[in-house]
Copies of this chain bind each other. A is one copy, B any other.
Amino acid sequence: MSKTRIEAFSDAVIAVAITLLALDLHVPDPAGAGTLAHRLGEQWPNYAAYVVSFLTIGIIWINHHAMLRRLVGVDHAILMFNLVLLLTIGVLPFTTALMAGYLKVAHGQHLAAVIYAGSFLVMSLAFFAMHRHLLLAKAHLLEERLTPDVRRMVLRRNAVGLLPYGVAALAGIVNAYVTLAICGLIAVFYALPGTTAD
């Protein structure tokens, strides 16, 4: 299978998922109580979660592109790793809506926060597993032969990237706002120059 079509399909799935995030921004019912300004203001968790998730999915897209760029071809196993990765990206609009809907709800906020950061962690794990498979088991499909040392270093850097999401998920047990803040900081960090492999 050519690389072009796996890129096209992945681009489309990620693009739909990132755009569906906006479906969680709700227009307040005009018949409801309170001024529009007040009611829109109350929705701030939705805006915050939208921005954090949008940037996070955008960054995974950049990393996904960098990962595939190294390949000259794909096989069945790579397709399945990629499919699982897309599956974990596809649920992010749901976990984002869950986070936004429960951030201010006393009895569910901790679980929602753990699931939110947890869904980023699972996505990162799927990404790591795919990357690991490419670098260790499919070295013959890489554009340029990387030395074992370089490959191990790339993977180690990748693995380190999993930690912050683990911390964010654990933080949710204590405070959901902290989880959202950590996830936002991770997105900002990767937005800085030189932090993705573009």
Instruction: List the interface of chain A (C-beta within 8 A of B).
Output: 1-2, 5, 7-9, 11-23, 25, 27, 30, 35-37, 40, 50-51, 54-55, 58-59, 61-62, 65-66, 69, 74-77, 79-80, 83, 86-87, 90-91, 93-94, 97-98, 101-102, 105, 107-108, 111-112, 115, 191, 193-196, 198
Contacts and interface: CB of A to CB of B under 8 A. Distances in A.
Given A23-B20, A66-B1, A108-B36, A191 B12 contact: no
B27 A19 contact: no
A91 B25 contact: yes
Contacts of A59: 83
Main secondary structure of the interface of A (DSSP, over half): helix
A37 B111 contact: yes
Most buried by B among A22, A59, A90, A91: A22
